[in-house]
Amino acid sequence: MSLKTERLPVSTEAHVVTVRQTVRKLAVEIKLSLVDQTKIVTAASELARNLLIYGGGGEVVIDVLEERARKGLQIQFIDRGPGIPDIELALRDGYTSGSGMGLGLGGARRLVNEFELVSNPGQGTHITIRRWK
């Protein structure tokens, strides 16, 4: 069940900063440990930057979740960009389609409890991550 939802556009580098700040604020509100705060903020920052650079911008939807006795954050990164033609390859460490180090998607996946990626060439990409307390 979602207790709170924030919708943030991502079309500039400043928007990536806003995503990072909002995720940190909500992680503190639900009392994630400092380590878990750092992990979710790092993953969100990487994915928001990818959304901007590779997806041409889009939207980030952040939900504060409550499921039974636990709380968590769910963050969705949605773009209508070119999509990812080979998801398995894109998740592999060291792979990059640009000038980065190739740690973004695989690294983000390791920093969260749940990671879902749906992408269709020519239709965009939708990534959902969750971090639970």
Beta-carbon contacts of 106 under 8 Å, excluding residues fewer than 6 positions away, are 91, 92, 93
Fold observed for domain 2-132: Heat Shock Protein 90 (3.30.565)
- CA–CA separation, 121 and 13 (whole Å): 24
Determine the average pLDDT of the residues in 100-115. Answer: 82
What residue spans of the chain are helical by DSSP H?
13-29, 34-53, 87-91, 104-111
Backbone angles phi, psi at 73, to 5 degrees: -115, 135
List the chain domain ranges: 2-132
Please answer whether residues 128 and 74 qualify as being in contact, where contact means their C-beta atoms are separated by less than 8 angstroms. Answer: yes
pLDDT in tens, 45-74: 999 999 999 999 999 999 999 998 899 999
